[in-house]
Amino acid sequence: MTTATHSSVTETAVKRAVPMNVFRQSAPLRTVCLENRELVGPGGVGTVRHLVFDTSAGPYPFLEGQSAGILPPGLDANGKPHKLRLYSIASTRHGDTGDGKTLSLCVRRLEYPHPETGETVYGVCSTYLCGLKVGDEVDVTGPTGKAMLLPDDPAATIVMLATGTGIAPFRAHLWRMFRENNTDYEFRGSAWLIFGIPTTPNILYREELEDFRQHANFRLTYAISREQKNAKGGRMYIQDRVAEHVGELWELLQRDNTHVFICGLRGMEDGIDAAFEAHTAPLGIQWAEYRKHLEKSHRWHVETY
């Protein structure tokens, strides 16, 4: 993974400060579920839950953009413990309550048809988490990950491209930028979120996102695939929005403190690259090479699955 810093000075400082694997599988942190609520509105597709866990038995130190490991109980078909699953943390280091004693996750229940029987198969860990009751205990490992950390520069331009539960780290970023009053981080840059979802009821954290619009330096663009059309009359996906605004996005990338964060389904990456390739080719610039430059400069951050 690339680190999420943009200069050698801050990179060294952040590397020293980033907590990593404080809790391991052999000795996880036992947390308690404090909240489990549905994020998908009536008529939406699937189930996505917002979960809050009490970490006061820790502490569990983490930074915005990191992930937590979940150990689902029980054994798999081979009689072995279920494998660890990683989920992006959807809260700041201070948690939803602001006291630094909770962490939040945004979890979609995985559902897919069995390739042979056609019966619906449910993901082991996501089903476990989505079915938690308040008071249930959950073993957590981590934190882990450096790819999605915010840059130290409070004047940076932050472009966030998310699909579905890929919104999780960006919720943490936006809270830190616009909701919290942090003496160590007073955001005065600009942020632009392009969010891809299938239907309007699937706009996760919609009320929060709309509230952030009161800030002049926050911009919000939706790509609602089953309701909106792209320029060719097909479904509107996040890569179509990138193509629609590629000129403006390209101009932003010319600033040495612009950072692009991509989180969600891996399938969107090719379309995003194609949009930039179509724009840069007439300029005599090879997008693949330019993206490598952004990656080496720690300004192109990707976490997809």
Give residue 15's pLDDT: 45
Average pLDDT over residues 228-240: 96
Q: Per the residue annotation, which of 88, 91, 104, 190 is the catalytic one?
A: 88
Q: What is the pLDDT of residues 193-224, one digit of tens each?
A: 999 999 999 999 999 999 999 999 999 999 99
The yes-or-no verdict on residue 3 having pLDDT over 80 is: no
Concerning whether 185 is annotated as a catalytic residue, the answer is no
Question: Cβ neighbours of residue 143 under 8 Å, at least 6 residues apart?
Answer: 19, 20, 21, 22, 60, 61, 62, 63, 66, 67, 68, 89
User: pTM of the entire structure?
Assistant: 0.91
Classify strands 157-163 and 111-113 as parallel, antiparallel or unpaired: unpaired
Concerning whether 87 is annotated as a catalytic residue, the answer is yes
Q: What is the pLDDT of residues 97-113, one digit of tens each?
A: 999 999 999 999 988 78
Tokens of 258: 């612009």
Q: Per the residue annotation, which of 106, 125, 130, 263 is the catalytic one?
A: 263
Q: Per the residue annotation, which of 60, 87, 222, 237 is the catalytic one?
A: 87
- What secondary structure letter does DSSP report for 97? T
The yes-or-no verdict on residue 88 having pLDDT over 90 is: yes
Concerning whether 305 is annotated as a catalytic residue, the answer is yes
Average pLDDT over residues 58-86: 95
Share of the chain above pLDDT 70, in %: 95
Reported residue count of the chain is: 305
Concerning whether 190 is annotated as a catalytic residue, the answer is no
Long-range contacts of residues 199-202, Cβ cutoff 8 Å, at least 24 apart: 199/43, 199/44, 199/45, 199/224, 199/226, 199/227, 200/41, 200/44, 200/224, 200/227, 201/40, 201/41, 201/42, 201/43, 201/44, 201/45, 202/40, 202/41, 202/44, 202/45, 202/46, 202/48, 202/164
Give residue 107's pLDDT: 98
The yes-or-no verdict on residue 156 having pLDDT over 70 is: yes
Concerning whether 137 is annotated as a catalytic residue, the answer is no
The yes-or-no verdict on residue 7 having pLDDT over 80 is: no
Is the distance from CB of 25 to CB of 69 less than 8 angstroms?
yes
